[in-house]
Amino acid sequence: MAAQTNRGFWGGGRLNTIQYLEDQAARAERLAKRITDTLTIEKLLTFAGERRREIEVITGKYRRA
C-alpha cells in the first residue's frame, strides 16, 4: 500500500484544519499556565476558546441561531 498523506482517508483539508486549530488552542492554554500577566492569560484563553468554537462549527456541533 502506498504511504498515506496528511489527507489520509478523511478527504482532505477539514481534518488538517481541525488539527491545526486543536494545536493552536492547546498551545495557548499551555502558555497561559506558565505566565503571570493576567491580561495576557485572559487573551490567550480567549484565543483558545475561539479556536475551540471554530472546531465546533466545522464539526457541526454548534449551530448558529
d(CA 26, CA 54): 14
Q: Is the pLDDT of residue 9 over 70?
A: no
CB atoms within 10 A of CB 5: 7
* pLDDT score of 6: 46
Residues 32-54 pLDDT 10s: 999 999 999 999 999 999 999 99
Max Cα–Cα distance, the chain, nearest Å = 51
Domain borders along the chain are: 13-59
In this prediction, residue 3 carries a pLDDT of 42
The per-residue pLDDT for range 11-31, each reduced to its tens digit, is 557 789 999 999 999 999 999
Q: How far is CA 15 from the centre of its chain?
A: 11
Helical H segments across 1-65, by residue range: 13-34, 38-59
Rounded Cα gap, residues 47 and 41, in angstroms: 10
